[in-house]
Amino acid sequence: MRREIPMIVAFLAGVIIILEFFVPMLRDVAGQIQQWYLVVVAFAILVGAFNLLRINYMKVRDRRADWPYSVVLIAGLFAMAIVGIFWGIEQGTVFDWLFNYLMFPMSSTMFALLAFFVASAAYRAFRARTVDATLLLVAAIIVMLGQVPIGSIWVPAGWPHSLIFLTPDWLKDRIMEIFNTAGQRAILIGASLGVVSTSLRILLGIERSYLGEE
Amino acid sequence: MKFVRWLADIDRRILFLLIAVAVVVPLIFPLGMRVKVTTQAQNIYDQVESLPAGSRILVSFDYDPAAAPEVHPMALAFLRHCFAKKHKVIIMALWPQGAQLAVSAMAEISREFDIVYGRDYVNLGYKPGGDIVIKSLGSSFPKVFPTDMAGEPTANLPVMARVRNLKDIDLVMDLSAGDPGIPAWVRVANALYQRKIAGGCTAVSAPQFFPYLQTGQLIGLLGGLRGAAEYETIIGYAGKASRRMDAQSIAHLVIILFIIFANVSYFILRRQRAEKGEGPKAGPSASA
């Protein structure tokens, strides 16, 4: 029963949500299911926070590699939760201050490190070894130039309109609108078909990995 | 030849240093380069302009501080435009940290405009659930957000007075750094409820939304720092994005030069090896 009941719930909920599009009288039931989903998701966040705490507590307790980072994580988790629950999260509160002056700059810094690694990776791995690699390399350079103001600085004010196709801006727009859009659409359609097929497999009980099965 | 070999095996710390200099120097000494406005940004501006004063604009803060250097300036520029046109702004978030970023944005914006919380704007806070939250907003706003972020019942807020569901929203602006984000708003709010959706996202994710632009499911898109700088340019506000574009310009130029130098050294060394009768070699280490 531990397996059958969740499968029946998933089947009924999924079928009602799909049928809602065709049978208007199911709209209220579907709306109710969606409200339940929002409540379940809220609880899932609590479960996630508890699990994060449990894993990091065990890491500290067993003195596993990098355990001091887990101490920082636990301290941060409790500090933010306590100041948020007791003093609020609105503008001007301690929570707001911690968010703006600790969380914000630290997260931004981590993401900003990407610029250094991208530069280094581009230097070491971007080689015109084959025709495909050369095409990719040329397209990347055009898009990088067209994306920033410096790319159009060298184009003089009276540049003839008939030669506009030689400017990085124009070339970048064409690469993005034609080649990129075509590729992205193909990926989107493929991924959507995958979502449909996986959803059907879940509803029909063929795909059971969400129950913890292999 | 020694120089070419040195160039091929350059210490990555030198590359890091050059990138740091390329970013920091233009931030200290701005070059004032002007960014060209694309139709994607212009379309969003035109849409906001075309709405009558008092229109309801929903702004969803679906990003976190990691993406904020790119996305936050576009949030500020867009909000400035909305309040300058006397529109009512309803803020929400599908990302946990989005609501707090909205608090920071409104702290800055409320200093510049004569706006009152509850009358001109509201922050409904974070709601987990992605697509289902948007789908539920299509039926009822009060059911999904019975209170605002501070716990005040939304029924008491004048800005929410005639907002029953998504159909009462004149424009949705989604500021996104991933999932849930623009695709969720397009497939639910646009496809099911025919709402107009505008988007703002990080530069790295912008290319994947071009199909939505071509089909008209997105009326416009602000991509990365450039998108934010474009919007600042249109509204005539010299904000952070416009200033940071100088740094991004020089950084891009430096990376392009890296690629050119690396390829020149690669081909010189490859020709040299071929002349000596040695087999092809991968060249400099491929580790980043």
pLDDT at B288 over 60: no
Q: Is residue A141 part of a domain?
A: yes
8 Å CB contact of B36 and A108: no
pLDDT value of residue A214: 62
Average pLDDT estimate for A128-144? 93
pLDDT digits (tens, 9 = 90+) for B251-278: 999 999 999 999 999 999 989 888 887 7
Q: Is residue A69 part of a domain?
A: no
How close A63 gets to chain B, by Cα (Å)?
30
d(CA B31, CA B29): 6
pLDDT at A158 over 90: no
pLDDT value of residue A165: 83
Q: Which two tokens stand for residue B13?
A: 């710390």
Q: Is residue B284 part of a domain?
A: no
Counted domains in chain B: 2
pLDDT at B142 over 90: yes
Average pLDDT estimate for A194-212? 91
Q: Is residue A154 part of a domain?
A: yes
Q: Is residue B125 part of a domain?
A: yes
Examine the domain organization and report whether B132 and B230 are in the same domain.
Answer: yes
Examine the domain organization and report whether B140 and B17 are in the same domain.
Answer: no
Q: Which two tokens stand for residue B207?
A: 């290319």
pLDDT value of residue B284: 53
Examine the domain organization and report whether B22 and B74 are in the same domain.
Answer: no
User: Which residue blocks in chain A are alpha helix, DSSP H?
Assistant: 4-19, 27-61, 67-87, 94-98, 104-125, 131-146, 150-153, 168-174, 181-203
pLDDT-derived band at B287 (thresholds 50, 70, 90) equals very low
Examine the domain organization and report whether B249 and B230 are in the same domain.
Answer: no
How many residue contacts between A and B have a Cβ separation below 8 Å? Answer: 176
* DSSP reduced 3-state for B91: strand
Looking up residue B86, the CATH number of its domain turns out to be 3.40.50
Q: Is residue B251 part of a domain?
A: yes
Q: Is residue A210 part of a domain?
A: no
Counted domains in chain A: 1
8 Å CB contact of A137 and B36: no
Range of the domain at A181: 126-204
How close B209 gets to chain A, by Cα (Å)?
8
Q: Is residue A77 part of a domain?
A: no
CB within 8 Å of chain A, chain B residues 146-175: 149-150
Residue with tokens 């491929």: B286
d(CA B27, CA B20): 11
Q: Is residue A191 part of a domain?
A: yes
pLDDT at B92 over 70: yes
A-chain residues near B255 (CB < 8 A):
118-119, 122, 144
Examine the domain organization and report whether B249 and B234 are in the same domain.
Answer: no
pLDDT at B21 over 90: yes
DSSP string over A131-163: HHHHHHHHHHHHHHHHTSTHHHHTS-TT--GGG
8 Å CB contact of B128 and A123: no
How close B35 gets to chain A, by Cα (Å)?
5
pLDDT digits (tens, 9 = 90+) for B178-213: 999 999 999 999 999 999 999 999 999 999 999 999
Reported ipTM: 0.88
Q: Which two tokens stand for residue A149?
A: 């103001």
Least CB-CB distance to B16: which of A112, A116, A169?
A: A116
Q: Give the residue among B225, B208, B184 at the shortest CA–CA distance from A147.
A: B225
Range of the domain at B226: 39-238
Examine the domain organization and report whether B125 and B215 are in the same domain.
Answer: yes
Q: Is residue B286 part of a domain?
A: no
Sheet holding B220-223, edge to edge: B121-126, B88-93, B56-62, B171-176, B197-201, B220-223
Q: Is residue B283 part of a domain?
A: no
Q: Is residue A200 part of a domain?
A: yes
How close B43 gets to chain A, by Cα (Å)?
16
